[in-house]
Amino acid sequence: MSAIPPSFGKTGILRDLSSATSKLIKSVWRLSSHVRREDRYSGLEAAGSNISASDSRITDNESAREIIEYTKSKILSGATLSVAGQANQTQRRIISLIQ
């Protein structure tokens, strides 16, 4: 008795081994493809999160810039009114001294 049945023979075993190897290679390729897709998805998800955070920072900076400009405008307006008031007082004092 032989360990290999005569119907299979060496050629049949090699053919089965070749087929199994091909299936294994295809399965590994599909799995690695899936892993690459998952990595890309994770990368896109991280990129989306980074873009959202950047947009938030830009919006915060723009708001801060507007507040700074508004505050600067108010300070300059107040200073202008103060200088104008002091100039009027100086003119009145000079006129009262002259009289």
Give the model confidence (pLDDT) of 42-97 as tens digits.
888 888 888 888 988 989 999 999 999 999 999 999 898 888 888 888 777 777 77
Q: Determine contact, residues 37/46, Cβ cutoff 8 Å.
A: no
Cα separation, 52 vs 58, in Å, equals 10
- The tens digit of pLDDT for each residue in 2-57 reads 455 555 566 777 778 888 888 888 888 888 887 788 878 888 888 888 888 898 89
pLDDT computed for residue 49 by the predictor: 87
